Chain A
Amino acid sequence: MEIMRVKDELVCTRRVEGLKAASLRVLESQAGKLLVATDPVGAPIGKWVITTSGSAARLAMPDVKIMTDLTICGIIDNWSE
């Protein structure tokens, strides 16, 4: 799993049916890359979170049919980088 920071929320009304109503977050990785992840936890902006990728990302969502490859698994209590 990777450690990333929630940069912003992402509103995307026109999406494939497979994304259903998953809430999306823009995340910034340690290397500075911007990525979009689905968020079952409801992480607020600015928080450091743990993400899982690949097929494990789909299993992290309550509904495994949601087509994601990056999901937020948890909010880190405190992280100093």
Chain B
Amino acid sequence: MRIMRVEKTLVSTNRIREMGHRPLLVVRDKAGGTPSVAVDAIGCIPGDWVICVGSSAAREAAGSKDFPSDLTIVGIIDQWDEEKNG
């Protein structure tokens, strides 16, 4: 699992039916890192440090076994200091 930071909500109205209405968030592993998109299964706000899971666990965490996600947020870290642990 990876530690990433939530940057903002991603709006994609024209999406495949299988994705339903799950919220998508832009996440980065470090400030200047390349952005990825994760399904928000918790309800995060921009600026949260979160735990993201991949592969088949991402699908189950996002709702059902055949939900087409390969990255899902499974937890919000209570306290994380990027510089100290970076």
A76 to B67, Cβ gap below 8 A? no
A74 to B12, Cβ gap below 8 A? yes
Q: Pick the interface stretch among B42-50, B51-59, B75-83.
A: B51-59
B contacts with A, residue count (CB < 8 A): 28
Specify which chain B residues have a CB less than 8 angstroms from the CB of A54 in the assembled complex: 54-55, 70
Main secondary structure on A side of the interface with B: mixed
A55 to B66, CA, bound (A): 10
B contact set with A: CB distance below 8 Å: 10-16, 18-19, 24, 26, 34-39, 54-56, 58-59, 66-71
Would you list 10 pairs from A and B whose C-beta atoms are within 8 A, ordered by A residue? A2-B36, A3-B26, A30-B35, A41-B15, A50-B37, A52-B68, A59-B67, A73-B19, A74-B19, A78-B11
